[in-house]
Amino acid sequence: MKAYRSQNNWKQKYEDLHEQFQEMSDYLTEIVTVQQNQAEYLEYLNDYIAYKGLEEDFSYFRENAHRDTDESTPFPRYVM
């Protein structure tokens, strides 16, 4: 009887661990998908800047902009 409980206990632990692993796998898959989408968006943005010939303007903005924490917007953003 004791061996049966022990075996059943291990089986339950295995099932719990498998469920946690699946949840973590799903979560990581979602993170990777979001990162891939952001990388693709960034590639489009970089190509658009090059297409429009705005590399110098972007460099100037990047070097001189600062974060503004305007209370009317939910997040800070870079401004000149």
* Cα–chain center distance at 15: 28
pLDDT at 16: 93
* Helix residue ranges per DSSP H, the chain: 2-51, 55-64
pLDDT at 4: 57
Residues of the chain predicted below pLDDT 50: 1
pLDDT at 55: 97
pLDDT at 7: 72
Degrees to nearest 5, angle at CA 35 with 78 and 76: 20
pLDDT at 49: 97
pLDDT at 34: 98
Q: Is the distance from CB of 61 to CB of 49 less than 8 angstroms?
A: no
pLDDT at 43: 98
Of 21, 48, 64, nearest to 78 by C-alpha is 64
